[in-house]
Structure 1
Amino acid sequence: MGLLAQGSPLSWEETKRHADHVRRHGILQFLHIYHAVKDRHKDVLKWGDEVEYMLVSFDHENKKVQLVLSGEEVLETLQEKGERSNPNHPTLWRPEYGSYMIEGTPGQPYGGTMSEFNTVEDNMRKRRKEATSLLEENQALCTITSFPRLGCPGFTLPEYKPNPVEGGASKSLFFPDEAINKHPRFSTLTRNIRHRRGEKVVINVPIFKDKNTPSPFIEAFPEDEEAARASKPDHIYLDAMGFGMGNCCLQVTFQACSISEARYLYDQLATICPIVMALSAASPFYRGHVSDIDCRWGVISASVDDRTREERGLEPLKNNSYRISKSRYDSIDSYLSKCGEKYNDIDLTIDKEIYEQLRREGIDHLLAQHVAHLFIRDPLTLFEEKIHLDDANESDHFEVQLTDFENSAYVVFVVLLTRVILSYKLDFLIPLSKVDENMKVAQKRDAVLRGLFYFRKDICKAGGNAVVDSCGKAQSSPELAQEEYTLMSIDTIINGKEGVFPGLIPILNSYLENMEVDVDTRCSILNYLKLIKKRASGELMTVARWMREFVANHPDYKQDSLITDEMNYSLMMKCNQIATELCECPELLGSSFRKVKYSGNKTDSSSN
């Protein structure tokens, strides 16, 4: 969630009065930073991961599991025993949106050597052990993307009722304000999004139609006209920021060697996002219902959508300046490298004055339009103490998996892929509108097996020094661009298909064969890649598919798309047992915890 400033947060009306001031000075701060670092090269390629956790409590007698609202207290103790006592402590802990959530990262960023890949899982295990040691009896630290009964009556411990009347931060029918982190930034952000939008956020998740699911599936909200208008038939209605930001994810952060390299990686990884999203699908349940989606991307996007009705195109522009096509939390709208310029086929709304100012200051067209696009939006949280600053010196997700092994696998896969992209000068770019289409497909149920994704056929065309803008100078005709990509399955993209695509895993394996890597690290990496390979082929289930199967086979399930307290208890107990390695789950993990056999320069990765 980032660093939290201390101060007095302003209401939306107060923040709105300072919006232009913040925009003007934000641009000045950007320019100062850019000119200070634009000529830096050969920075060390550092990277790190962030894992978000939920604190849960098991009531074994009543077969019920709840989210424990003790995140702030646990975080304070973790920081006191960790970084405040020892600057070199191996873990760092940070707050998150939910008062039942915490976020853990390695104490120091990982570096550029291959041996670093062999330390990721160990560090994640340290984090789990550290935080778990502070919990009470029958409590656990869970890495689940979305709590299945989030928003259901009594889902928190202590139990609180929602406050839908005026005065509450979210005015949710389902999500109590007590479940929001107590730091004023979070409740102010929640309230300001609602005030700027002019109504509560609206999230409609399609219901999974099982044998006994009512058709149409309709929820009645007779005492709330706003909910009655916003909810849709055959959808699960959610109405608060907590339903998105109260979920957990796994993040990987990179420091590139230069700005040009960072822009190149930014573009290339944008095309990989929907692929990894489908591979890591882990959130099929919402507010006690079985949904027809496997990923929470659309949910989190809608949960922070502060656009007014005018900006969403529902009313003529009168009080606002722009139509804005997406929530502020959504897929990217423009590539930043010269390689990607010809694939920028999405209409970009920009602040023309800011764009011209940036161009006058020497910012190139692609970066200038990107920043000018970001600044069409208003600031949402502003601290009174931070309004007037020295502009020269101030500047103010994948789906998380059940186990440390799985989370490590996705981290290593993505970081290793960045190394290969840079080393082999790979080019994954396709028209950005096709990436948007891929993002929609990736969220669907069983997208990893059933979805088809636009992907570039020849990823080795770039040649030369693609990082420093030599690719992309020759313009392609639309007809030629269409020949560069085609629809592929996740299995083809990850594992390859003869005559169609070489596959990312074979390319990573080829890279590893040419690298000096110690035996233990090589075995660990191959073990991680094996998990990714088998998830892509369908030999192993995604977490979302495994959860669906678990619920479908539960003796209490009535094939009505409803998840009871006891079903949720059984599911969370099983998730915790898997995460803490108290039981095996071959459908989800195979036997991937075993090391891959290694002999000399030959690696046997064929074993289960």
Structure 2
Amino acid sequence: MSDDSQPVRMYSWKEILPRMEEIRAVATDQFIAAWRSPRPSHTPVFTWHETMGYIIVRCDEAARRIVLSPRAPDVIKELGCTHDPVAANAHPRHPSKGGGAGADADTNDAAETYWRPAHARFALRCEPPVLRTFSLAGLALEIQECLAARRRLLKAKLRPGEMLLTINQFPLLGADTYIDGQGPANGPLLRSRILSDSCLNPAPPFALEIGGIYDRRGSVPYTGVPVFHDTATPWPFVDCDLPPASLNSNLALVSAGESGRDSACSMGSSTPVPAAAAAGSRTPSLGTPKKESPRPDVPPPPAASRTAIPEAPSNTNCLLLDSPLFGIGSGGVLRITMCAADLGEARLLHDHLAPISAIMAALTAATPIVKGHLIDRDCYWDVQCSAVDDRTAQERGIAPLTTAKGTLRKSRYGSIDTYVGPEDPSADTAFRKQYNDCQFTYDKDSYWKMKEDVGIDQLLALHVARLFVRDIHFASERVLSKGSKKDRDSHRSDSQEHFKRFVGCNRQNVCLYPPNTSAGSGWEVGFMSLEVQLTDAENAAFITFILLLSRVIISYRLNLYLPISLMDQNSSRAQRVNAVRDQLFYFRRDVFGGRDGKSNGSGRISRRGNASTARHAVHHANGSSSNTNQPENAEYVELTIDEILNGSKTCGVTGILNIIYAYLPTMRLEYEVEQALRRQLQLVRRRASGKLCTLATWMRNFVQNHPDYRHDSVVSPSINYDMLCTMNDIEEGRAAAPELLG
């Protein structure tokens, strides 16, 4: 919380661009300070916290319409929230940090919750005030009630006719009338032809971040979302909100270099910034660097192509979105952040939780409707990543490299670029450098400083240096003044404001965070790929699963490594309709093997044609040995989510849930606690087996069976009204949903 009563001057991306290289240098120093912090940054007690997000809607019973309510900032004030939403150190404190003996009890006190605004006026976030100490009894008996108590507290602040929902996106956002007090589109803040500025939170940081994405990119970040093709859907489908002619004219400006300044360079200077270095084995993506002394571990980056690659997005068979607000801070969230014992444990969790992220996205899929239409996806991950994509034309590879640091393969939101591996490769032979099989771009100056001047190992230095090819979108006067050269020279840069801004601009499916000195926490790992669920019971069950999985990874030293290229394929498959039942995912056949450097290291991949095919055909990753025809000899197997979590004797796969079930008796739990944990895990098990459906499937079925649905993919206001009212009744226990909850 912040005690400052004076408003803080905020600077936009354009205003801080001349100082961006200085800010990068400060951020590098801040990470180095965190890495150098006294090695008693070993925290023997495992702690964690969740971030929950909600949206507020208003029901018009007479009109049978539900719209968003822009009252979230007012509700936060009524809850007594006085913290500074810009503060980079806003973080649940460690139980030993200023909480006293009763600090643990505060985690379950809804009245002590940290309430925070989101980018949208209709959304809000919350976290516990104190990091939760890992307790199986707490997971079994307390976490669901804590979530429910928060929800009750929030509902008490609502007006008559308002509802509180934990859903990933409001189904009609951007369609017709979608928010109370809706103003005209094309406002100066969102610059959207679809969304009104009345959607945006009035706090300056949110408008500055949205504006920074537009300004840095130099064009509108259009996002195409494939429409579900039903029997009466007009085909080819054309989104009439954004005519093709207007898109083409905008793209012509981009191709001609008239769309604004390419960033990651200095403003007002014609001298290109030297290209960054590239890592990986794929297509080169870099400009020609300035002459440097040769570095034995960094091969000279080849020159990038100077020919612009034409970009030709189409709105055919797609809904088009034109605002970053579609991807940031406009829906419910469920994130889990774990405080590891030390950096080594954090690296282990980061790497082995990343391959499970796509599986969890599919299991929690909850977004089958966008802008009032059924879509040909069940998850929102790619939509979110595209909507906030601030890469310039040069960075996207559609214009010759002149001022940018290099081309960037992904949006600033997406899956991880690289595993961080162990600090000492000989200490963990499960990691192989071949797993980092995708090209990525990183900032060479920060990399060389961390690796050569400070002694940070190569894998961690690369992981951090890739953050610095992005820009931050805004900064406060307070933060800029703290980032002066005097502070850097005095090694007083451990406050981490600049570094946290860069981390926030690079949100991956799994995130690694340095110790938070003000909160007293250690190295942290954030799990980001879950879609928030409708009920507190579901959210508690998935929190419990991820935390138990993290403990099993540490206790049994599970090996979940996949090549990143396969993990990216899994991420794409996870978002398809009914992915839990219909898709196959790459996974390690033996999660206990491969740690001796010899076994299970063939690189062979056993593939199936589809989820119902029982016969396997084995192929090979690059550099692997000769084929065999048995899946038990393959390192990676294509499996259903049921097989990954519940096991498969045919493929010789143990099953993650079976490992967790075997772990529970070793903890000597009371009978009541173990049974409660098993009930939570049973929801995950039945969801994985297909006996329970995802929320996305439930919503899709509701729409398709509604009497007002015309099988044209359109979700009308009346359908949306009935659906959300029914979902609210399910959450409050007034309606049953056995297909969803059992």
TM-score, normalization by structure 1: 0.91
Task: State the partner residue of 1:211.
Answer: 231
Task: State the partner residue of 1:294.
Answer: 378
Q: Which amino acid aligns with 1:497?
A: S
Q: Does 1:29 align with 2:181?
A: no
**Contact in 2 for aligned 1:154/1:160 (Cα 8 Å):** no
Task: State the partner residue of 2:710.
Answer: 558
**Contact in 1 for aligned 2:549/2:660 (Cα 8 Å):** yes
Displacement of 1:12: 2.5
**Contact in 2 for aligned 1:110/1:116 (Cα 8 Å):** no
**Contact in 2 for aligned 1:335/1:341 (Cα 8 Å):** no
Displacement of 1:176: 1.4
Pair 1:374–1:81, CA change in 2 (3 A): closer
Task: State the partner residue of 2:440.
Answer: 348
Task: State the partner residue of 1:450.
Answer: 582
* 1:119-172 residue CA offsets vs partner (Å, 9 max, x unmatched): 1101000110000001011111101111110111221112222225xxx12211
Q: Does 1:47 align with 2:48?
A: yes
Q: For this pair of structures, how many residues does the alignment match?
A: 579
**Contact in 1 for aligned 2:409/2:439 (Cα 8 Å):** no
Q: Which amino acid aligns with 2:496?
A: S
SS at match of 1:320: coil
Pair 1:574–1:380, CA change in 2 (3 A): same
Q: Does 1:505 align with 2:657?
A: yes
Q: Does 1:265 align with 2:359?
A: no
1:332-411 equivalent positions in 2, closer than 5 A: 332-338=416-422, 339-342=430-433, 343-359=435-451, 360-389=453-482, 390-391=487-488, 392=492, 393-396=494-497, 397=528, 398-411=530-543
The farther-off stretch of 87-96 and 127-136 is 87-96
- Aligned with 1:195 (options 209, 215, 220): 215
Task: State the partner residue of 2:268.
Answer: none
Pair 1:212–1:402, CA change in 2 (3 A): same
Task: State the partner residue of 2:274.
Answer: none
Q: Which amino acid aligns with 1:101?
A: A
**Contact in 2 for aligned 1:271/1:429 (Cα 8 Å):** yes
Q: Does 1:181 align with 2:201?
A: yes
The whole-number CA distance in structure 2 between the counterparts of 1:31 and 1:481 is: 45
The whole-number CA distance in structure 2 between the counterparts of 1:80 and 1:172 is: 30
Displacement of 1:243: 1.0
Q: Runs in 1 of length 4+ with deviation above 4 angstroms?
A: 2-6, 80-83, 227-231, 474-477
Instruction: Name stretches of at least 5 consecutive residues in structure 1 with no aligned partner.
Output: 465-469, 591-608
The whole-number CA distance in structure 2 between the counterparts of 1:3 and 1:254 is: 28
Pair 1:7–1:471, CA change in 2 (3 A): farther
**Contact in 2 for aligned 1:56/1:139 (Cα 8 Å):** yes
Displacement of 1:546: 0.4
Pair 1:233–1:412, CA change in 2 (3 A): same
Displacement of 1:471: 11
Q: Does 1:492 align with 2:624?
A: no
SS at match of 2:132: coil
Q: Which amino acid aligns with 1:587?
A: E
Pair 1:437–1:526, CA change in 2 (3 A): same
Q: Does 1:122 align with 2:223?
A: no
SS at match of 1:422: helix
Q: Which amino acid aligns with 1:570?
A: D
1:73-472 equivalent positions in 2, closer than 5 A: 73-80=74-81, 88=106, 89-90=109-110, 91-117=113-139, 118-163=141-186, 168-220=188-240, 221-222=242-243, 225-226=246-247, 231-245=314-328, 246-338=330-422, 339-342=430-433, 343-359=435-451, 360-389=453-482, 390-391=487-488, 392=492, 393-396=494-497, 397=528, 398-462=530-594
Q: Which amino acid aligns with 1:344?
A: N
Pair 1:429–1:299, CA change in 2 (3 A): same
* 1:248-298 residue CA offsets vs partner (Å, 9 max, x unmatched): 221111000010000010000000100000000000100001000000000
Pair 1:298–1:222, CA change in 2 (3 A): closer
**Contact in 2 for aligned 1:267/1:340 (Cα 8 Å):** no
* 1:320-341 residue CA offsets vs partner (Å, 9 max, x unmatched): 1210000111110000113434
The farther-off stretch of 317-326 and 122-131 is 317-326
Q: Which amino acid aligns with 2:624?
A: E
The whole-number CA distance in structure 2 between the counterparts of 1:481 and 1:35 is: 46
Task: State the partner residue of 2:624.
Answer: 479
**Contact in 2 for aligned 1:456/1:484 (Cα 8 Å):** yes
The whole-number CA distance in structure 2 between the counterparts of 1:146 and 1:80 is: 24
Pair 1:384–1:235, CA change in 2 (3 A): same
Q: Which amino acid aligns with 1:133?
A: A
The whole-number CA distance in structure 1 between the counterparts of 2:198 and 2:383 is: 21
**Contact in 2 for aligned 1:311/1:324 (Cα 8 Å):** yes
* 1:337-378 residue CA offsets vs partner (Å, 9 max, x unmatched): 134342111112111222111112010000111111111111
Q: Which amino acid aligns with 2:58?
A: S
The whole-number CA distance in structure 2 between the counterparts of 1:51 and 1:185 is: 20
Displacement of 1:550: 0.1
Q: Note the aligned Cα RMSD (angstroms).
A: 2.6
The whole-number CA distance in structure 2 between the counterparts of 1:170 and 1:425 is: 47
Displacement of 1:48: 1.4
* 1:465-510 residue CA offsets vs partner (Å, 9 max, x unmatched): xxxxx999x9988316993111111110011111321111111111
The whole-number CA distance in structure 1 between the counterparts of 2:443 and 2:710 is: 53
Q: Which amino acid aligns with 1:506?
A: N
Pair 1:348–1:340, CA change in 2 (3 A): farther
**Contact in 2 for aligned 1:55/1:101 (Cα 8 Å):** yes
Pair 1:227–1:586, CA change in 2 (3 A): farther
The whole-number CA distance in structure 2 between the counterparts of 1:81 and 1:515 is: 41
Displacement of 1:578: 0.8
Displacement of 1:385: 3.1
The whole-number CA distance in structure 2 between the counterparts of 1:335 and 1:3 is: 39
Q: Which amino acid aligns with 1:479?
A: S
**Contact in 2 for aligned 1:144/1:402 (Cα 8 Å):** yes
**Contact in 2 for aligned 1:213/1:560 (Cα 8 Å):** yes
The whole-number CA distance in structure 1 between the counterparts of 2:560 and 2:323 is: 36
SS at match of 1:527: helix
**Contact in 1 for aligned 2:602/2:625 (Cα 8 Å):** no
The whole-number CA distance in structure 2 between the counterparts of 1:481 and 1:462 is: 18
Task: State the partner residue of 1:71.
Answer: 72
Q: Which amino acid aligns with 1:27?
A: T
Instruction: Name stretches of at least 5 consecutive residues in structure 2 with no aligned partner.
Output: 84-91, 93-101, 252-312, 423-429, 498-527, 604-621, 628-633
The whole-number CA distance in structure 1 between the counterparts of 2:175 and 2:131 is: 39
Pair 1:509–1:304, CA change in 2 (3 A): same
Q: Which amino acid aligns with 1:320?
A: A
Q: Which amino acid aligns with 2:120?
A: G
The farther-off stretch of 571-580 and 347-356 is 347-356
**Contact in 2 for aligned 1:201/1:304 (Cα 8 Å):** yes
The whole-number CA distance in structure 2 between the counterparts of 1:515 and 1:480 is: 41
* 1:209-232 residue CA offsets vs partner (Å, 9 max, x unmatched): 000001100123359713786552
The whole-number CA distance in structure 1 between the counterparts of 2:185 and 2:419 is: 42
